Amino acid sequence: MSEPKRPVLAASIAVFRDGKVLLARRGKAPALGLYSLPGGRIEPGERMQDAVLRELFEEVGLRASLVGFVDHVEHIEHAEDGTLRAHAVICAFAGHWEAGEPRLSDEATDLLWVDPLFPGELPMTRGLPEILRKASIIIGNRTSEAA
């Protein structure tokens, strides 16, 4: 595997439904087996907002409406010998569930609706608890007001 020539631009979404947020266990590298937000690569010529909604439907079969931008996350992964294995910049959004029931795929091997402020002791991608906290505030989630 050769080193990436440039970072990958991706988008993810914290989808809220009945006060809970959807987490997906990654079925592919990078971050294989870790829980994260549904999302994926932004294609050339595609707006971030369009990409995240497309990826949400392709990956887990849900439709959502966007509420706002949460933050960006940088995922940089090195091999043991120090070579760059992966570099992605992920633009995280928050949104409300509109339609569909979550379905598993080769990209999402488990799906859980969790409390965004207390997601449990799941193995998660770096920075996910902070993204969930910020997304909860943007959504105006009732649980964020109690914290």
The DSSP letter of residue 22 is: E
How confident is the model over 79-94, as pLDDT tens digits? 899 999 889 999 999 9
| 54-64 pLDDT tens trace | 999 999 999 99
CA dist., res. 83 & res. 49, Å (int): 32
Q: Is 142 helix (H, G, I), strand (E, B) or coil?
A: helix
pLDDT tens track for 8-67? 999 999 999 999 999 999 998 878 899 999 999 999 999 999 999 999 999 999 999 999
- Helix (H) or strand (E) holding 10, with range, is strand 8-17
The tally of CA atoms less than 13 A away on the side-chain side of residue 93 is 25
Q: Supply the pTM of this predicted model.
A: 0.89
Quote the DSSP letter at residue 136: H
- Using alpha carbons, list the distances in angstroms from residue 64 to 53, 54, 67, 140: 7, 10, 9, 16
Of all residues in the chain, the percent with pLDDT exceeding 90 is 82
